[in-house]
A and B are shown apart, each in its own frame.
Chain A
């Protein structure tokens, strides 16, 4: 039968298709709502290609299985949500220190605590700011459609390899659960094991990977090296999707589903003649500071739309060095800011009054 590369996929399914097409060898994960379709899809499709799918006994096992597989030179991934990510953080700190590239998907749900299974964006701080112990950072991509869930899998693996770092795909339950039309990319061949890996077929057998540095100066040296790389990432890898930004007096920012809500609101407000624009950060680390700085040259004010207690807003303020007012429009507990809420806030700021 003839096949096509166009498909209807949930975000959670699309990221698995993207990963397999990007040449991902291994998936290790523990089920959790609202990320479980990732495990379901991986369980169905990895074995079809004789690749590794294993349901781990716990989140810590999953991240350390990833650690093992990427040490062996393979592309490997895991996925979870909020509380599961909390459990993985020790392993992520090791991966970052050992400079091991891997992909971690976080489909955010309501928190703190057990919270609920409805969408939130409250893992921003724990993922974007490092999350585990020690001073490390990881690249964080924030898709806002099923197509981006698919495409960012390749991008995530490539960036992970390029900078030898874990890369997160961070989004909310809405993007994970929503189904959209997706155009599948072409399959990539298995990428060669990197020269630092523990793959006996291609690598130098004196390779070893560790994260323990007993000499203070050695550990300080490692930290400097990592931080130099983070600076390089900050310079080179900022990504943002902007809309109607060039002449915007008011800039509304949000990632994931918030970016989609904002876009519709901006469309409406422009019809009303209001100069509103959007910045949707696509990378959260590196935060797209340049886009915000540039916008701050003409914008009077910024609004950060978030589904948490106001976490990204700090990064906006830092990016524009607090030169313009930034206010927060947020919902929590699984509630999603509506187009009308965003539009009303913008009208109030630009026109004054209610």
Chain B
């Protein structure tokens, strides 16, 4: 306490004049039992909030426990949160509104048992708020059960033979633990047993709140407090218990204080300006593009196209599918791309289904009536050939599948040694681009009208740019492999 400073002996201004939030007839008094420490600590906090002039921007978080009704008394915002979740709620409150002051008020069960992980993680993140931790070594509201801070030998309703280090372990030293962390700015343990101790507690409360106002990070004040009712003591015995037994195990004092050295943390302002949001979220328009009403004219696009691609993981099966989907999207089709995921992936094979449709796409799953099957390994050929539709097209990589499969009448069969070509090209990873080139040659030769045939060589590079956005080197390499595949397949088709 600063010399000469006077402590007012009236109700602090941080409290309401009358406690109207409290239901029932009693509006002047608190609900706490005689000898309880909550009332004193409430006053110290209320006084500080009023003195600092921050009542209007403070939110007090009420925990589950006796202080669940703390919001009855404080003339500021109040929120009551699930048991143990004070630190998580505080994290949400401070991050959502960086100008606010947030007070976490927790008991030993709430903070050190059910909510300890949330508490220690918030402390470790250095959330900008302060926590007042009331340690009275017992559960109050629930009926005198053992707390994580109950002392060895202490008898409670759930440790009737006394807490034992063998069964329940040792009392949890919270301040000591928090002080070990990098982020917290200030940690002190105080008690409320004498005027001198209360004055120390008062300074601690003010320092913690000040750190919060000045955005210096996380502060903890642990307050050794009395619960005469559940500890079955009178107030004199209670103070003695705290001053000797509790203080022995939980020594009072400053465990960490970097308040003076810490700088104010500044936070960036969230962006909601429509133009800036568009810039951040909307994708870059790639390539020449076409008008929204552009329609590919070839007859094959008059109905839904069902495509399946399958091969080993690493052959670029999924990205080939993505490129096809991007091609469809860029020409105003609805597209769906569904990867195999889960156990199938780990078996070393990958597949994806792509559907291209001008209208609504129903099931995105291709397990029958497949129009185009692109097969890059033998196991997939055996597995998926039965799914090929009546007039379906099968393309397979003849580098990995030596024997030409038998297809039904009406079905069409094409092949190219795509992997060998990619390897000779210098990058096996480009096998999928070689396949894409082969596919474009087949489409041009057999399925596309003149305009669509001319369009595809424009469309593929644009689709590659969309899929590998910003990776110009990869895009160019794939375009080259695509052209190579197209050339080889054309030669084969004209043979």
Q: Which residues of A are at the interface with B, using a C-beta cutoff of 8 A?
A: 1-8, 17, 20-21, 23, 25-26, 28, 34, 45, 48-52, 54, 56-58, 60-62, 64-74, 76, 90-91, 94, 116-118, 173-174, 177-181, 184, 186-187, 189-190, 198-201, 203, 205-212, 214-215, 218, 257, 260-261, 263-265, 267, 334, 336, 338-340
Contact of A186 among B274, B337, B466 (CB under 8 A): B274
* Among A57, A215, A334: residue with most chain B CB under 10 A: A57
Query: Is B334 a contact of A190 with CB atoms below 8 Å?
Result: no
How many of B's residues come within 8 Å of A, CB to CB?
77
Given contacts A3-B285, A90-B82, A181-B329, contact A68 B280 (CB under 8 A): no
Alpha-carbon separation in the docked complex, A174 to B141 (Å): 47
Contact with A along B426-447 (1 / 0, CB 8 A): 0000000000000000000000
Alpha-carbon separation in the docked complex, A286 to B57 (Å): 38
Query: Is B89 a contact of A67 with CB atoms below 8 Å?
Result: yes
Query: Is A68 a contact of B285 with CB atoms below 8 Å?
Result: no
Name which residue of chain A comes closest to B102, CB basis: A68
Query: Is A187 a contact of B342 with CB atoms below 8 Å?
Result: no
Alpha-carbon separation in the docked complex, A207 to B60 (Å): 11
The secondary structure that dominates the B interface is mixed
Given contacts A200-B100, A336-B365, contact A179 B279 (CB under 8 A): no
Alpha-carbon separation in the docked complex, A208 to B285 (Å): 48
Query: Is B281 a contact of A187 with CB atoms below 8 Å?
Result: yes
Given contacts A54-B91, A72-B97, A178-B336, contact A198 B79 (CB under 8 A): yes
Contacts of B466 in A (CB 8 A): 8
Q: Would you call B379 an interface residue if the criterion is a C-beta within 8 Å of the partner chain's C-beta atoms?
A: no
Query: Is B95 a contact of A264 with CB atoms below 8 Å?
Result: no
Q: Which residues of B (320-346) have their CB < 8 Å from a CB of A? A: 322, 325-326, 328-329, 333-339, 341-343
Alpha-carbon separation in the docked complex, A340 to B369 (Å): 11
Query: Is A117 a contact of B342 with CB atoms below 8 Å?
Result: yes
Q: Which residues of B (356-372) have their CB < 8 Å from a CB of A? A: 360-365, 367-368
Q: Would you call B269 an interface residue if the criterion is a C-beta within 8 Å of the partner chain's C-beta atoms?
A: yes
Q: Which residues of B are at the interface with A, using a C-beta cutoff of 8 A?
A: 21, 23-24, 55-57, 59, 62, 68-69, 71, 75-82, 85, 87-97, 99-100, 117-118, 121, 268-272, 274, 276-285, 289, 322, 325-326, 328-329, 333-339, 341-343, 360-365, 367-368, 466
**Nearest CB on A from B24, distance (A):** 8
Given contacts A50-B269, A69-B96, A208-B78, contact A264 B362 (CB under 8 A): yes
Alpha-carbon separation in the docked complex, A34 to B345 (Å): 14
Query: Is A209 a contact of B76 with CB atoms below 8 Å?
Result: no
Contacts of A56 in B (CB 8 A): 88
Query: Is A3 a contact of B78 with CB atoms below 8 Å?
Result: no
Alpha-carbon separation in the docked complex, A21 to B71 (Å): 35
Contact of A189 among B96, B274, B361 (CB under 8 A): B274
* 8 cross-chain CB contacts under 8 A: A50-B269, A67-B81, A68-B79, A174-B364, A203-B77, A205-B75, A208-B80, A257-B363
Query: Is B281 a contact of A69 with CB atoms below 8 Å?
Result: no
Contact of B92 among A67, A184, A338 (CB under 8 A): A67
